[in-house]
Structure 1
């Protein structure tokens, strides 16, 4: 399954529209305020669909949803190509947000369930981290591809290639396994003869989507361990969301215009390495987060280009820790509500990321980017202390 998962992850992020869509909007006459409104709509759509999509994934085919996700995103980009106007950009972002939400918790649940079925659940963090690294590599490749595509055929060719990549991603999703459901409390357990599968529908009729949502929320409410993991992932995501401001941090070091992209690339490379190392050194989560806090504060606080090396190392640890936290969450939940709980985590992560953007915008009135990045070391230190408490490892799932 590893090769199929990596292919899916690569194609999902191999979208050359990413580095140019803001320019497409501006060329269509959308104001900076309008562009900000579009980004806010994107985040809002993803947040609103996140939990319902997780519930849906626990009562219908998970593989079906990971196929539908890139198709929705492809439709959004196609709309932008065909009708480059504000209303189509807004509709496209709703489709993109829905696609992102459909994939997030669903893919995690599908992968973990298949690994658990073959007795390899311990490999989840490694596979998840490497899939994340393949996605990061795809973003780098797509960014490099955007310029020659624009030269050859303009923004329309960039859009067409983005749509084709996502259609290929949907095809790759079809190759992912449809794992029979397992669990003692779920709406989608396999039939007694073992013939039920992930592709065979909604499970028993006695438990609907609301019952699944209540069960998933009950897991979060009753389990202190699950709540701690959710807090860990949400806070890490809030800090990692600062990567949107990396160009500002790099420029604030006094680096020339040509050096800024290279400094941002260094941080992206650090994040990719962190994903590749996922599954290793699990017991060092607390000390690693403490080290990341120091690296972030010192690296950003220097205000020098060389300090970006420390920032890159810190982001590598953040993404490594995110993969570890995701694995711990999957270990603790029953398969019948796995996608639901994963999507609750995704919604929390999205909310904290939006909060981070708001805090950065407010703080930027008084502080430069380097001090805003350095201030983000404080929640990292708090996480390091929390992670040093008794382990939240691998006993049976919470129900």
Structure 2
């Protein structure tokens, strides 16, 4: 790779990391589920909203991935933060209206669907075009870290702003998304530079769904890592949506919510950056989720605010296997319709998220939010056993 090409790649990655940071730099992260409860919604209603969020993502995910494979990925990456910004416009004026909160989640799902398949596909193809696909897990770890830092700094600032005004925490989530839309204009689609002759024979829009289905049919490891993430690691992601209710139950002061969120994301980002150093250790695929589950069980005691540190640790230990599993997913596939296939993974995660969110909310309503976290931790035990049995058959969930 020439020095000019290397310089171009560094500039691309700098903009890409900034985009990932800004896409999730939202002050609302610190308070939105607590806002719903304080505005009069029950835990079950919040669970329904979160399940609707996942359901709408299922409907939108693969069509947006196919659009990304068929057209310039930049168009979707510009539209994604603009759609997401409409979420906070809806929430700012909702004043307890369940349906406006739901409309906000619909816009969030649209923005996330436009972003999810396109962002990883664009990154992998750019790395591949520059002969650097072997470094993808390292770069993906840094990209996930940038995203995590965006969440962390947004949550930190959001906690302090929300202590003064919940409304301002919602409104101030919009400007970073507008800046992200501008930055996306710089993220050139590598396929524009490749001049691949097969583009002329790529087929129509619907052919991308056929290609994605073929990928899953032909690659057992692709199916294995999809189930691993969609039915296993997704538990930790959905729990974060209920964390503010945990904070309330554990008597954590509102001013500390942002500090906790920023601390989690900061350490999570560090773990993501160094995740590539842990590649080649198959036991991590079952060992780290099991460790996270044990920490969730301990955190469920929640007798005082200090137990929240165990919850934070549970999220952090999952970071390396999340990066390694995502990298393996990208490497296993052939990539003819990469964004559509990636969107299928995200869609599967949302299907798993719906079931797990509704079950968690149902359990929390009946036995309390803290014990529900404990049962979520227990669920990691069968996951660990399933991974061990899969590895004995030659399947791998992580690189």
TM-score (structure 2 length as normaliser):
0.81
Cα distance change on mapping 1:383 and 1:257 into 2, 3 Å: farther
Check the 8 A contact 2:65/2:342 in 1, yes or no: yes
Cα distance change on mapping 1:387 and 1:270 into 2, 3 Å: farther
- Residue 226 of structure 1 is matched in structure 2 by 222
Cα distance change on mapping 1:121 and 1:206 into 2, 3 Å: closer
Matched, 1:342 2:342: yes
Check the 8 A contact 2:83/2:108 in 1, yes or no: yes
Q: C-alpha separation between the residues in 2 aligned to 1:280 and 1:40?
A: 35
- Residue 244 of structure 1 is matched in structure 2 by 241
Matched, 1:280 2:277: yes
1:210 to 206, 218, 230: 206
- Residue 184 of structure 2 is matched in structure 1 by 173
Check the 8 A contact 1:15/1:161 in 2, yes or no: yes
Check the 8 A contact 1:76/1:96 in 2, yes or no: yes
Task: Write the mapping of 1:217-366 to structure 2, written as runs, cut at 5 A.
Answer: 217-240=213-236, 241-246=238-243, 257=253, 261=257, 267-287=264-284, 289-294=286-291, 296-297=293-294, 300-301=297-298, 303=301, 311-364=311-364, 365=366
- Residue 154 of structure 2 is matched in structure 1 by 142
- Residue 110 of structure 1 is matched in structure 2 by 122
Cα distance change on mapping 1:379 and 1:167 into 2, 3 Å: farther
1:95 to 102, 107, 119: 107
Q: Secondary structure at the match of 2:27?
A: coil
Matched, 1:377 2:380: yes
2:143 to 131, 138, 142: 131
Cα distance change on mapping 1:350 and 1:278 into 2, 3 Å: same
Q: C-alpha separation between the residues in 2 aligned to 1:82 and 1:321?
A: 39
- Residue 186 of structure 1 is matched in structure 2 by none
Matched, 1:60 2:56: no
Check the 8 A contact 1:270/1:315 in 2, yes or no: no
Cα distance change on mapping 1:347 and 1:10 into 2, 3 Å: same
Question: Which moved further from structure 2: 90-99 or 261-270?
Answer: 261-270
Check the 8 A contact 1:6/1:131 in 2, yes or no: yes
Cα distance change on mapping 1:307 and 1:175 into 2, 3 Å: same
Cα distance change on mapping 1:3 and 1:274 into 2, 3 Å: same
Structure 2 alignment gaps of length 5 or more: 1-11
- Residue 5 of structure 2 is matched in structure 1 by none
Deviations 1:302-340 (A, max 9, x none): 736776655544432322112111111111223321111
Q: C-alpha separation between the residues in 2 aligned to 1:80 and 1:246?
A: 19
Q: What is the Cα deviation at residue 34 of structure 1? A: 5.3
Q: What is the Cα deviation at residue 23 of structure 1? A: 6.0
Greater RCO structure (CA 8 Å; 6+ sep): 2
Cα distance change on mapping 1:15 and 1:265 into 2, 3 Å: closer
Cα distance change on mapping 1:63 and 1:242 into 2, 3 Å: same
Check the 8 A contact 1:11/1:166 in 2, yes or no: yes
Q: What is the Cα deviation at residue 94 of structure 1? A: 1.4
Deviations 1:98-140 (A, max 9, x none): 1111111111101000000101112222222222222222222
Structure 1 alignment gaps of length 5 or more: 183-188, 197-202
Q: CA RMSD in A?
A: 3.5
Deviations 1:228-260 (A, max 9, x none): 1211221343221223344565677x6665797
More helix by share: 2
Question: Which moved further from structure 2: 334-343 or 261-270?
Answer: 261-270
Q: C-alpha separation between the residues in 2 aligned to 1:142 and 1:338?
A: 30
Q: C-alpha separation between the residues in 2 aligned to 1:145 and 1:208?
A: 45
Q: Secondary structure at the match of 2:157?
A: helix
1:76 to 71, 80, 87: 87
- Residue 61 of structure 2 is matched in structure 1 by 50
- Residue 24 of structure 2 is matched in structure 1 by 13
